[in-house]
């Protein structure tokens, strides 16, 4: 989606991290190198641990063969349930509640003056990060904090898989409040048991698992 910039909100440094992470977490299509160039430009304005973490993802993607990078992305995010970037999958799972939660994301975008993207679900982490970086950082930060546990589950899964994308997620976490013991326990339970399931007799919400990407799409 085309996002309109605003000057108010959290520290500019956080917004730069969110924008960089959003670009790094995008599917590595033919514009991959251009996005990496943009991220490297942003890194010159980012300090601390987040800069080093983002730089590690950049270096790994730079070194990867384009076809291999695309295949790895599909394998990582589309074929492994625990590393999905659709945040409501972990809070609502295969239930009708997921539709309501996704609507909440879309409503937040519209209240900020932009339409949700037509090519991607509104709860997709790169979309949320771009929104937080360039449209409404206060509302975007709130969405990220509210879904901190799914983000932690994603980070754990990527770390265990030794994925270079783990560093980008860890950089995002550097911009958020520290996790509580309760958050850690919830993340552990989600990782072990999976997302909520629909009650008996109800038709499950159909958009639950990210679609498999094919070719350059």
Q: Which residues of the chain have pLDDT under 70?
A: 1-10, 91-97, 181, 183-217
Domain ranges of the chain: 10-193
3-state secondary structure of 94: strand
Query: Residue 49 and residue 213: Cα distance in Å, rounded?
Result: 32
Alpha carbon distance 74, 114 (integer Å): 28
Cα atoms found within 13 Å of the Cα of residue 108, Cβ hemisphere only:
23
Please report the pLDDT score of residue 11 as a whole number. Answer: 81
Q: Residue 196: its pLDDT value, please?
A: 53
SS3 assignment for 15-55: HHHHHHHHHHCCCCCCCHHHHHHHHHHHHCCCCHHHHHHHH
Report CA 7 to chain centroid distance, whole Å. Answer: 23
C-beta separation of 212 from 105 below 8 A: no
Closest CA to 25 of 157, 156, 127: 127
Q: Smallest Cα–Cα separation from 9: which of 137, 168, 178, 143?
A: 137
How many whole angstroms separate alpha carbon 177 and alpha carbon 18? 15
Class in CATH terms, 10-193: mainly alpha
Res 111: pLDDT: 96
* Cα–Cα distance measured from residue 139 to residue 152, given in angstroms and rounded to the nearest whole number: 20
Residue 210 has a pLDDT of: 40
Other C-beta atoms lying within 10 Å of the C-beta of residue 11: 10
The number of helices, as runs of H, and strands, as runs of E, in the chain is 11, 0
């Amino acid at each position: 989606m085309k996002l309109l910039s605003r000057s108010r909100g959290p520290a500019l440094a956080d917004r730069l991290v969110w924008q960089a992470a959003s670009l790094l977490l995008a599917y590595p299509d033919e514009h991959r190198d251009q996005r990496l160039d943009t991220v490297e430009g942003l890194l010159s304005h980012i300090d601390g641990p987040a800069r080093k973490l983002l730089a590690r993802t950049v270096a790994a993607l730079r070194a990867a063969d384009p076809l291999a990078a695309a295949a790895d992305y599909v394998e990582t995010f589309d074929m492994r349930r625990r590393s999905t970037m659709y945040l409501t999958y972990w809070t609502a799972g295969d239930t009708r509640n997921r539709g309501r939660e996704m609507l909440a994301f879309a409503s937040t975008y519209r209240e900020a003056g932009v339409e949700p993207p037509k090519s991607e679900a509104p709860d997709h982490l790169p979309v949320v990060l771009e929104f937080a970086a360039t449209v409404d950082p206060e509302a975007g930060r709130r969405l990220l904090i509210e879904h901190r546990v799914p983000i932690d589950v994603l980070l754990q899964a990527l770390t265990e898989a030794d994925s270079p994308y783990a560093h980008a997620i860890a950089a995002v976490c550097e911009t958020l409040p520290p996790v509580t013991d309760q958050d850690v326990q919830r993340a552990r339970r989600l990782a072990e048991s999976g997302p909520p399931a629909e009650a008996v007799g109800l038709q499950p919400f159909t958009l639950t698992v990210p679609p498999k990407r094919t070719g350059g799409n």
